[in-house]
Amino acid sequence: MRFVDEYRDPVRARALADRIAAVLRRPWTLMEVCGGQTHTLVREGIDEVLPAAVELVHGPGCPVCVTPVEVIEAACRIAAEPGVTLCSFGDMLRVPGRDRDLQQVRAAGGDVRVVYSPLDAVGIASAEPSRTVVCFAVGFETTAPATALSLLEARRRGLSNYLVLSAHVRVPPALEVILGAPDNRVQGLLAPGHVCTVQGGAEYAPIVARHRVPIVITGFEPVDLLEGILACVTQLEEGRAELENRYRRSVRPEGNPVARAALAEVFEPVDRRWRGLGTLPLGGLGLRDAWRAYDAEARFGPVPEGTDDGRCRAGLVLAGRLRPDACPEFGTGCRPEHPLGAPMVSTEGACAAYWHAGRPRRPGPGDVAGPVPEAASR
Amino acid sequence: MCLGVPGRVVAVTDDGMRSGSVDFGGVRRTVCLACTPDAGCGDWVIVHAGVAIARLDEAEATERLALLDAMLGGADAPAAPSAAPGPGD
Amino acid sequence: MTGPLPEPTGVAAPMEGPIDVSPSCPVPLAPGGLVQLGHGGGGRLTAQLVGRLVPRFGDPELARLADAATLEVPAGRLAFTTDAFVVQPLAFPGGDIGSLAVYGTVNDLAMMGARPLALAAAFIIEEGLDLAVLDGVAVSMAEACRRAGVRLVAGDTKVVERGAADGIYVTTSGIGCIPPGVEVGPERARPGDVVLCSGPIGVHGIAVLSRRAGMAFDVDTCSDAAPLHELVTAGLAAGEIHALRDPTRGGLAAVLNELAGASGVSITVEEEALVVPGPVAAACEMLGLDPLSVAGEGCCVALVHPDSADAVLDAWRAQPVGAQAARIGEVGEGPATVRLRTRLGAHRPVLVPTGELLPRIC
């Protein structure tokens, strides 16, 4: 595949890894923010070719992972309603809610359908006017435009049976929380290339300035990731902290103005709880009042308050303070067949990524010892 | 997150929302092109969740790759990418 | 639910005699366009239904409509298998549930080194299924039997109420005879064996997925469903094959783990050596699927003695379904694990897929 294979070329990848080794003078800890980047790192075994002095900590970049229990529970409740068709991305089907997931709701008779795009959900609403179609809108700013377009399209077609349950989240507030934590270990960030394709770089420059941390906008293929790591490490070695774009074939400084305009018309930043990280101020996107008629929470009731399950250490994993294979539950109480939390469910969750790469359980530099801290806002 | 895949626009329609058929290495799907008004037939786009979120800058990509190869010391050019041949190819 | 099916070319059941009128119900029992519950009642409607299906196969034993088929079988060991087919949609590029049922059963037998002899098939049909669809499935099965050189000698039909079966379910049983001296089984792999794959992987699964409601993508690929027994026979004649398996549900990842587990060996495959057709790779990219987890229905893996590997490979490549046969890996000492050596030269384990293929979006 063109524009994919070139960036998977092993010769280029190994040459980049050698360059990184040549540039390194001391160890550095970087965080790749996006679950898609984690997936590639683990699938290709990039950490096996990276010098050991570069530590990659997995960030909270998995919208599936950070969807809190009470939101999944709300989706399950809505999906179980007669006459409702809940449309969801495939990744969400096995994420555990309180005591059930959407797959179980479907087995019990709920009309849960996997869609590839929110626009497919609009198609279902249009084709089946007797159904109330609810789009379970999960994702970062990359996915939110698709949801926004689906609503614009639903309005254009005059549909009255299409609703959105918005669980969209925004990346920058999460980065603030992570970098602002007193025990933060992350020294450089690989920013999510497709989020930035939509949003551009404007929101990241203030983070660079405030925390004096290099942020490199990075793509998703092995060559992209290694280029991003090389750029980040080079900055760190040279004592610089700048916003850099290493995914120029997709990311422009201003992002995608049309997509951003659609977002602005439909959504506004709202406070949002992230699983394991507490409530992040303006950490989510909610439907504007003007779109109340399409808001699933207006129709079925607001999502209730929630707190985290004590056994799952997703919060520590998502904040980069616990490596998945260092969690006491990893591989024992928590496996893909019976996940305690979302990072083990989604193929991009840090824990699932480690599981599928067959990491044995062993302690590492990122280990947090002792009892699980009380989940609370930070 | 953000499974964004590059594809080539092969047809464009507009029935109120600009959309088109995008070819991903032999797989074609209808994609919303509303966010890439400058992407026409033959252009490459990055597609996520059924929506093209960017027109892929081919010139930029080619130039960047050449710069990268030069920087890496480009003794032998890396092998040209090719998909394994198979039925239907 | 269905796509285009091949035009019926077999002989339709002749409707002879006066129109039947039952004294307890004055409506004539004329065949409508849809399967009705009455077609499963064992009476005239059932006979009509069976009468539509049987002639398509042209098999004298089947046409006897006895309670069981009787066959002459060669002396020696028999291979005996059963399978169920519930594919959705019923028809997909390159085949349908009927052809899939035949090839799937034949291939189960072939994986034991057996020459397929005969099949039996039971159909559980949903009330409301278009009779033309049923005809199409029968035609497809008959054609697949001819292509595979196997007979359908026994069958059964049942009809269940609307909603109780997705159109049609097909269950099969198959018998085959294993030539003397052939010893093939999943537990027979040994360290040092070579792993061969007879062709491209993941083709069937993508072809089917492309037609599933909610996916809706066009892909330049047809299901690879095909009979493999001649390929297997050629391979067995050429060298020492220890184990055979076809990667259907769960794909290559599942079968390699099964083989490793049964034999207590480790298996390493080379990512670069796997043959993944462009459209399959592209579809997997788009949906976020791993090609190793996607079903194929026209390829198999063999674990062969290292001295035989080249000869078996040559024999396979001479067969139409084996044109792209390749050496994909090797068998090592236990414990039973499966690893992939990536493009970058790193290793990652290949785990058994957890369940339903859920396309990723994020």
pLDDT value at position C214?
Answer: 62
Q: Which amino acid is at C187?
A: E
pLDDT value at position C289?
Answer: 84
Determine what percent of chain A is predicted with pLDDT higher than 90: 65
> Using the beta-carbon criterion (under 8 Å), do B1 and A63 form an inter-chain contact?
yes
pLDDT value at position A119?
Answer: 95
- Taking residues B7-19, what's their average pLDDT? 95
- Taking residues A19-34, what's their average pLDDT? 94
Sorted by where each starts, the structural domains of chain B and their CATH numbers stand as 5-71 (2.30.30.140)
Does residue A80 register a pLDDT over 50? yes
Task: Give residue A105's pLDDT band: very low, low, confident or very high (50, 70, 90).
Answer: very high
C75/chain A closest Cα distance in angstroms: 46
ipTM of the complex in this document: 0.88
pLDDT value at position A358?
Answer: 67
Please report whether residue A367 resides in a domain.
Answer: no
Out of A55-59, A174-178, B35-39, C302-306, which region has the weakest mean confidence (pLDDT)? Answer: A55-59
Burial B30-66 (b: 16+ CB within 10 A, else e): bbbbbbbeebeeebbbbbbbbbbbbbbbeeebeebbe
Q: Would you say A12 and B68 are in contact if contact means Cβ atoms under 8 Å apart?
A: yes
> Using the beta-carbon criterion (under 8 Å), do B78 and A64 form an inter-chain contact?
no
* 3 state SS of A251: coil
Q: Report the neighbours of A using a cutoff of 3 or more CB pairs below 8 angstroms.
A: B, C
> Domain with A88 in it: what CATH number?
3.40.50.11750
Based on the fold, state whether residues A116 and A225 are members of the same structural domain. Answer: yes
Question: Considering only alpha carbons, which residue of chain A is nearest residue C344?
Answer: A10
Compute the distance between CA of residue B28 and CA of residue C218 in angstroms, rounded to an integer.
5
Nearest to C113 by CA among C77, C83, C71: C77
Does residue B48 register a pLDDT over 70? yes
Based on the fold, state whether residues A287 and A299 are members of the same structural domain. Answer: yes
Q: Residue C6: is the preceding peptide bond cis (ω within 30°)?
A: no
**A124 contact residues in B (CB cutoff 8 A):** none
Q: Is A36 on the interface with B (CB under 8 A)?
A: yes
> Using the beta-carbon criterion (under 8 Å), do B5 and C285 form an inter-chain contact?
yes
Q: Is A258 on the interface with B (CB under 8 A)?
A: yes
* 3 state SS of C92: strand
Based on the fold, state whether residues A236 and A327 are members of the same structural domain. Answer: no
CATH code for the part of the protein at C37-178: 3.30.1330.10
Neighbours of A301 (CB within 10 A): 11
Q: How far is CA C265 from the centre of its chain?
A: 27
Please report whether residue A375 resides in a domain.
Answer: no
Q: Which amino acid is at A242?
A: E
DSSP state, residue C97:
H
Based on the fold, state whether residues A189 and A330 are members of the same structural domain. Answer: no
Domain with CATH 3.90.650.10 in chain C: 186-349
Residue A221 structure tokens: 């293929």
Render pLDDT for C106-161 as a digit per residue (tens, 0 to 9): 999 999 999 999 999 999 999 999 999 999 999 999 999 999 999 999 999 999 99
- Measure CB to CB from residue C221 to each of B2, B24, B88 and give the nearest one: B88
Between C287 and A185, the higher pLDDT residue: A185
Does residue A275 register a pLDDT over 90? no
pLDDT value at position A239?
Answer: 97
Based on the fold, state whether residues A134 and A174 are members of the same structural domain. Answer: yes
- Mean pLDDT score across all residues of chain B: 83
Between A256 and A95, the higher pLDDT residue: A256
Low-confidence ranges of chain C (pLDDT < 70): 1-32, 213-216, 354-362
pLDDT value at position C11?
Answer: 40
DSSP state, residue A158:
T
pLDDT value at position C189?
Answer: 96
Task: Give residue A322's pLDDT band: very low, low, confident or very high (50, 70, 90).
Answer: confident
Most confidently modeled of A9-13, A308-312, A370-374? A9-13
Q: Measured between alpha carbons, how far apart are the two ends of chain B, in Å?
A: 30
Total domains in chain A come to 2
State the number of CA atoms in the 13 A half-sphere of A4 facing the CB.
23
pLDDT value at position A286?
Answer: 97
- Measure CB to CB from residue C275 to each of B26, B47, B86 and give the nearest one: B86
Task: Give residue A288's pLDDT band: very low, low, confident or very high (50, 70, 90).
Answer: very high
Q: Is A356 on the interface with C (CB under 8 A)?
A: yes
Q: How many CB pairs under 8 A join B and C?
A: 83
> Using the beta-carbon criterion (under 8 Å), do C362 and A91 form an inter-chain contact?
yes
Largest pairwise CA distance in chain A: 65
Compute the distance between CA of residue C157 and CA of residue C134 in angstroms, rounded to an integer.
11
Based on the fold, state whether residues A332 and A248 are members of the same structural domain. Answer: no
Q: Is C344 on the interface with A (CB under 8 A)?
A: yes
Task: Give residue A312's pLDDT band: very low, low, confident or very high (50, 70, 90).
Answer: confident
Based on the fold, state whether residues A327 and A218 are members of the same structural domain. Answer: no
Domain with CATH 3.30.1330.10 in chain C: 37-178
Instruction: Tell me which of 3.90.650.10, 3.40.50.300, 3.40.640.10, 3.30.470.20 is the CATH number of domain C186-349.
Output: 3.90.650.10
Does residue A180 register a pLDDT over 70? yes
pLDDT value at position C35?
Answer: 87
Burial C230-243 (b: 16+ CB within 10 A, else e): bbbbbbbebbbbbb
- Measure CB to CB from residue B26 to each of C274, C282, C288 and give the nearest one: C282
pLDDT value at position A185?
Answer: 86
Nearest to C194 by CA among C257, C270, C249: C270
A371/chain B closest Cα distance in angstroms: 30
pLDDT value at position B75?
Answer: 46
* Boundaries of domain holding A220: 1-310
Compute the distance between CA of residue A261 and CA of residue B35 in angstroms, rounded to an integer.
9
Q: Is B47 on the interface with A (CB under 8 A)?
A: no
Compute the distance between CA of residue A118 and CA of residue C283 in angstroms, rounded to an integer.
19
- Mean pLDDT score across all residues of chain A: 89
Based on the fold, state whether residues A146 and A286 are members of the same structural domain. Answer: yes
Residue A161 structure tokens: 């049976």
Compute the distance between CA of residue A286 and CA of residue A273 in angstroms, rounded to an integer.
12
Based on the fold, state whether residues A191 and A273 are members of the same structural domain. Answer: yes
DSSP state, residue C111:
T
Please report whether residue A329 resides in a domain.
Answer: yes
> Using the beta-carbon criterion (under 8 Å), do B86 and C220 form an inter-chain contact?
no
Task: Give residue A346's pLDDT band: very low, low, confident or very high (50, 70, 90).
Answer: low
- Measure CB to CB from residue A149 to each of B6, B32, B54 and give the nearest one: B32
Based on the fold, state whether residues A350 and A207 are members of the same structural domain. Answer: no
Please report whether residue A19 resides in a domain.
Answer: yes
**C351 contact residues in A (CB cutoff 8 A):** 355-356, 358
Largest pairwise CA distance in chain C: 78
Q: Is A1 on the interface with B (CB under 8 A)?
A: yes
Compute the distance between CA of residue B66 and CA of residue C330 in angstroms, rounded to an integer.
37
CA torsion, points A261, A263, A267, A268, in degrees to nearest 10? -70
Q: Would you say B68 and A227 are in contact if contact means Cβ atoms under 8 Å apart?
A: yes
Nearest to A67 by CA among A190, A168, A172: A168
Compute the distance between CA of residue C59 and CA of residue C61 in angstroms, rounded to an integer.
6
Q: Which of A114, A120, A124, A142 to mutate to test the interface with C (most CBs of C within 10 A)?
A: A114
Please report whether residue A292 resides in a domain.
Answer: yes
pLDDT value at position A277?
Answer: 77
> Using the beta-carbon criterion (under 8 Å), do B2 and A220 form an inter-chain contact?
yes
Q: Residue A264, class by beta-carbon neighbours within 10 Å (0-12 exposed, 13-18 middle, 19+ buried)?
A: exposed
